[in-house]
Amino acid sequence: MEALAVRLSGLDSYAEGAIRVVAFYDTLMRRRVDLPALARASAGLAGCVAGIRLHGTGRAIRVSPDGKEAATPPVPASTTAPVTLDEEEIGAVWLERPDPPVPLDDVVLERLALAVAAVVERYGPARTTMADPALVELVISSDGDEAARARALRLLGFAADLPVHVLAVRSPVPLDQVGGLVCPARPVKAAELADGGVILATTVDRAARFPAGVRAGIGTADNPPRSWRQARTALRFTTPRRPVVHYDGLGALALLAQVPPDTARDNADVTAIARIAGNPDDLETLDAYCATGSLRRAADLLHLHHSSVARRLDQIGKALGIDITEPAGLIRAALALTAWRLLDD
């Protein structure tokens, strides 16, 4: 091997430098360094700020050539490379060189990306690694037996004593990124199935901020097949104003999901909602009022004066044939609005 290296190094300075870079990272991996150490070593080698980011955590490690955390604001990367594990992009590495890239920058980032993937794999599976859809389907299927389900969970990396929440998700962003935000510190797996996006998570952070445009229904953790049914039901109750719904927060409202569509369409209140739905302003006003139960809070949500909202609500109430300013009328309108929305799912 040394003889080969000597022969290659004689070809040109780039080949010699590339071999030295490979040897440099091989040494780091033998020492079993962590991600911050990889960033420090890379910054020192490249002579500029080096960065590492894992999509699951969203946190970036940026280190200056002096080995300290970069204090300067991030600048556009001069060179970047994806970090892949099991054919999934789990992050990125980059260099922030103020001048144009130098010839060996691509080699440095290639070896850094490989080293980062090795570190992630060594210290545990990527928390947001996309899972085998067949295994996920086996976990949530009501047709499978418990032994097969337990084996599938084990293969996915879930311990036998850990609860598992199932999330039904509609997302314009990759599911693994959503999973990392929902459950940042414990195992989480995601897969795209015919019925939509599925995330399995041991915990669900109720304070988690889902990316814009994501809709999610979250089931309880008592039983995966039941949790999946609950999650899909909860997803039907999501709205632009309420994009994430926990099934256990629906209470008796979940019963509306069991109403046959024809029965809902024949209801006079639901029919009245369908009539006003052609006016987006009326629909948005009614939604805000039903969500808050207060004229002034609805006005705040709509960024309108409360007198304008009052006039709209008066017209809406007449169109519905319901006095929505009364508690009973407000309940009727809210139930009818929810039932009408469920017809679209």
Mean pLDDT within 118-122 = 78
Mean pLDDT within 141-157 = 84
Rounded to 5 degrees, what angle do the CA atoms 53, 55, 60 make?
A: 25
**1 band by pLDDT with thresholds 50, 70 and 90:** very low
Q: Using an 8 Å Cβ cutoff, are 241 and 270 in contact?
A: no
Mean pLDDT within 158-184 = 84
C-beta atoms surrounding 183 within 10 Å: 24
Q: Which domains does the chain have, with CATH numbers?
A: 2-122 (3.30.450), 133-257 (no CATH), 259-342 (1.10.10.2840)
**58 band by pLDDT with thresholds 50, 70 and 90:** low
**8 band by pLDDT with thresholds 50, 70 and 90:** very low
The confidence score (pLDDT) of residue 126 equals 47
Give the best-scoring range by mean pLDDT among 108-122, 172-186, 264-278. Answer: 264-278
Least confident of 123-127, 141-145, 192-196, 278-282: 123-127
The confidence score (pLDDT) of residue 260 equals 94
CA distances from 133 to 51, 128, 177, 195 (A): 32, 14, 17, 11
Strand-pair partners of 60: 53
The confidence score (pLDDT) of residue 57 equals 60
Whether 130 has a pLDDT exceeding 80, the answer reads no
The confidence score (pLDDT) of residue 38 equals 94
**257 band by pLDDT with thresholds 50, 70 and 90:** very high
Whether 131 has a pLDDT exceeding 70, the answer reads yes
Mean pLDDT within 294-310 = 89
Mean pLDDT within 203-227 = 88
For CA atoms 142, 144, 145, 151, the dihedral sign is negative
Whether 207 has a pLDDT exceeding 80, the answer reads no
**12 band by pLDDT with thresholds 50, 70 and 90:** low
Q: Using an 8 Å Cβ cutoff, are 119 and 175 in contact?
A: no
The confidence score (pLDDT) of residue 227 equals 96
The one-character DSSP state at 206 is T
Give dist(CA 65, CA 43) in Å, integer: 5
> Per residue in 265-287, is it b (16+ CB within 10 Å) or e — as a string?
eeeebbebbeebeeeeebbbbbb
The confidence score (pLDDT) of residue 253 equals 94
Residues 6+ apart with CB under 8 A from 281: 312
Strand spans (E) along the chain: 49-54, 60-63, 79-85, 88-96, 165-170, 188-193, 196-201, 215-218, 244-246
Averaged pLDDT of the chain: 86
Report the candidate in 168, 345, 170 with the shortest Cα–Cα distance to residue 264: 345
End-to-end CA distance of the chain: 63
**107 band by pLDDT with thresholds 50, 70 and 90:** very high
Whether 154 has a pLDDT exceeding 90, the answer reads no
Q: pLDDT tens for residues 176-190?
A: 888 878 876 677 889
